[in-house]
Copies of this chain bind each other. A is one copy, B any other.
Amino acid sequence: MECSYTPRELRWAIRRGDWRGPTAGCCPGHTQANLVIVPARYAFHFLLFCQRNPKPCPVLEVLEEGKWEPRRTAPGADIRTDLPKYRIFRDGKVEEAQGITEIWRDDLVTFLIGCSFTFEAALIKAGIPVRHVEEGKNVPMYITNISCEPAGPFRGPLVVTMRPIPGNMVSKAILVTSRFPAVHGAPIHVGDPLALGIEDLNKPDFGDPVTVREEEVPVFWACGVTPQMALLASGVDLAVTHAPGHMFVTDLLDEDLAYF
């Protein structure tokens, strides 16, 4: 599923219908983003939910009512056509779609939220193993016993990803990912899964289980599935997200997001 397009070329290929697959591995070095679209009347509370829970919900860009061009992260792009697959949540039902131009409305507000691909690239560059990449799996995700700070109708548990890290590399893994607060930043927990209410690492709530070796410690990062769960639990009458793995590829370089 690797591609050698530039972000702009990939978005054009998607818009033309020539690329419909997931975006993992696409445009290495460029930042990919989670997508959340809600009607304007929910926008303040959703943005506030993100402000109160910055580790799972790091906001990269917000497009005001009716705007579809993310001019900060991808000038010229169209958020309605440039993701390979969308999920539309309406009246309690979910459907997948190849584009959302037909359902677009002038009151829709778009949020682009940082995703873990960026810090995983940084980990790999630093020589730290990323097990689910090595094993060709989806990252394991777990619903924790930690509640997010609610805002308006948005509430729910913190969801985390887990990567097993050799004990002698945990420090470096923390330092490396601390550089990127805009894409979940430093781990929220190191060690005992039970402290987060996770009883069995082999039974993730989403994604696939991965091998944890004897000399490794489970390390947990906040996950972008958190805002999606809060969105679905909120009872909003219309919302759009990316389909899992089918992200929005921006023009930003991962290094543009480094805090230091």
The chain B residue sitting closest to A186, CB to CB, is B260
- A62→B72 CA distance, assembly (Å): 25
Does A211 count as interface, using CB distance less than 8 angstroms?
A: no
Contact with B along A42-75 (1 / 0, CB 8 A): 0111011001100000010010100000001000
Contact with B along A34-47 (1 / 0, CB 8 A): 00000010011101
Does A144 count as interface, using CB distance less than 8 angstroms?
A: no
User: In the assembled complex, which residues on chain B have CB atoms less than 8 Å from the CB atom of A178?
Assistant: 259-260
- Interface positions, chain A 173-202, Cβ under 8 Å from B, are 178, 181, 186
Question: Quick one: copies of this chain in the complex?
Answer: 2
Does A21 count as interface, using CB distance less than 8 angstroms?
A: no
User: In the assembled complex, which residues on chain B have CB atoms less than 8 Å from the CB atom of A59?
Assistant: 51
The chain B residue sitting closest to A45, CB to CB, is B64
User: In the assembled complex, which residues on chain B have CB atoms less than 8 Å from the CB atom of A52?
Assistant: 62
Please pick, from B44, B62, B186, the residue contacting A43 in the complex, using a CB distance under 8 A: B44
Minimal beta-carbon separation of A201 from chain B (angstroms): 28
Give the residue among A43, A178, A181 with the most B Cβ atoms within 10 A.
Answer: A43
- Interface positions, chain A 195-237, Cβ under 8 Å from B, are none
Since A47-B47, A47-B48 are in contact, a sample of 11 more A-B pairs with Cβ atoms closer than 8 Å, ordered by chain A residue number, is A44-B47, A45-B64, A51-B59, A51-B62, A64-B151, A72-B149, A178-B259, A178-B260, A181-B259, A186-B260, A259-B259
A: residues with CB less than 8 A from B are: 40, 43-45, 47-48, 51-52, 59, 62, 64, 72, 149, 151-152, 178, 181, 186, 259-260
